[in-house]
Amino acid sequence: MIPTSGYYHLANVRVHRSLTPGFIATFDTDGFALADIVVADGKISAIAAHKKSKAPADAIDLAGRIILPCFVDCHTHIDKGHIWPRKPNPDGTFMGALNATGADRAARWSAEDVAKRMDFSLRSAYAHGTKALRTHLDSVPPQEEISWPVFETMRETWRGRIELQAACLLGIEGVRDTKWFEKLAKRVAAAKGVLGVVTYMVPDLEELLDKVFSEAIKHGLDLDFHADETDDVAAISLKKIAEAALWSGFEGNILVGHCCSLARQPDLDVLDTLDKVAKAGLAVVSLPMCNLYLQDRRGDLTTPRWRGVTLLHEMKARGIPVAVASDNTRDPFYAYGDLDMLEVYRMATRILHFDHPVGDWPQAVATTPAKVMRLDGIGTLAAGGSADFIIFKGRGWTELLSRPESDRIVVRDGKAIDRQLPDYAELDELMVD
Ligand SMILES: [Zn+2]
């Protein structure tokens, strides 16, 4: 349907107000307007309000189908991805995930194993329409020396298809070994990565955060935290991160993931934390599918009673940049998933109520994570920008979010890509003992 010639005219497409800056039109109550898009030499040369009389004779009439910019997935773990068949989570709990993954990492994460699983994940993400992706890399010794070179190679291999970023991942206690942590920060800086840790309530949390911020400042690194992935109301490391950002005068970007416990805390405490998060300029990413899977799992014969996600609406109302992302895929932290950001958005709509009104929530899988990742211009449809977009069958939110849209068309640099998903059988050789 999409010509391979460099120039074509897409008529009668449905675009969303929140993702088309600079496009002036009358939008309906769902935020949509019909548009005509001209593509020339891999770029969008114009977006105009749809006028049947103005379309050239060879225009491709898309009959009101939705077009969204390619997705940005700002929180994943493609170094862990797809180990499930050889290392399942024994009971579906967070501790079960941590222990199973740790054992698998120590036993099996050679450079070849990590590279093959990462490439499988990236092919899936690309086929679903993702253009930029940040992964965390388990960086507990000696894994950092194995995974970071793999990441650097993978980033080069994928350049132009997926903008790949990485953040190191270790429990905050790992920072106590200051010499080793300084070495890690240097390694991350050499790879142009992001400094990341997992925070929870250890007695010396403030001191350790101080060290994390000072290393980030020293090397000019952005920060990416996993915080408070628990229902324990005493978990307030999000607030501690905001306080550390404020008193350190940190000027880089800070992304904080999870923040589950915030949804369980008393209103006054929540307000205090959100004030600080907003003031410190933190961005927050919720991982709705993983949270739904791991949180509130209390054992046999118990039904979960909360959704596990953090307070995205309250955050957005205060101007805090908020995103949703994939997190884990087919590993002990989440048994499912395929790095399909349409699935993430569909699940987020249901779990987090991204509807009534939809407003500008679509930015949470596109523009907002792009800004956090310093990829300005990605995650929008605009004249002058790359022709990187996804053409769906759906003509409204209820059509778009009710079916998997497996037959979507992904256009990159103006051309439809081959959307073949990798076959799971490719991974079989990595799953045998
Ligand atoms: Zn994560």
Catalytic site includes residue 229: yes
Q: In this model, does residue 5 exceed pLDDT 80?
A: no
Convert the pLDDT of each residue in 125-162 to its tens digit: 999 999 999 999 999 999 999 999 999 999 999 999 99
Q: What is the pLDDT of residue 2?
A: 87
Span 81-92, average pLDDT: 97
- pLDDT at 301 exceeding the cut of 90: no
Distance 122 CA to ligand 1 centre (A): 17
Q: Which of 229, 243, 343, 405 is catalytic?
A: 229
- What confidence score (pLDDT) does residue 54 get? 81
* Banded pLDDT at 330 (limits 50, 70, 90): very high
Is the pTM higher than 0.75? The answer reads yes
Q: What confidence tier does 6 reach under pLDDT thresholds 50, 70, 90?
A: confident
Average pLDDT, the chain: 97
94-120: average pLDDT: 98
CB atoms within 10 A of CB 241: 28
Q: Output the pLDDT for position 433.
A: 81
Among 99-103, 215-219, 302-306, 422-426, name the one with the lowest average pLDDT: 302-306
Residues with CB in 5 Å of ion ligand 1: 327
Q: Using the mean position of ligand 1's atoms as its centre, give its distance from the Cα of residue 135 in Å.
A: 8
Give the strands of the sheet with 163-169, arranged side by side. 71-76, 130-138, 163-169
For residue 211, give the nearest of 183, 176, 186, 236 by alpha carbon: 176
pLDDT score for 251: 97
Query: pLDDT for 307-317, tens place per residue?
Result: 999 999 999 99
For the record, the structure tokens of 204 come out as 């010396």
Q: Kindly give the distance from the C-alpha atom of residue 311 to the centroid of ligand 1, in angstroms, as a whole number.
A: 17
Reported as a single tens digit per residue, the pLDDT across 247-280 is 999 999 999 999 999 999 999 999 999 999 999 9
CA of 75 to the centre of ligand 1 (A): 6
Is residue 319 pLDDT above 80, yes or no?
Answer: yes
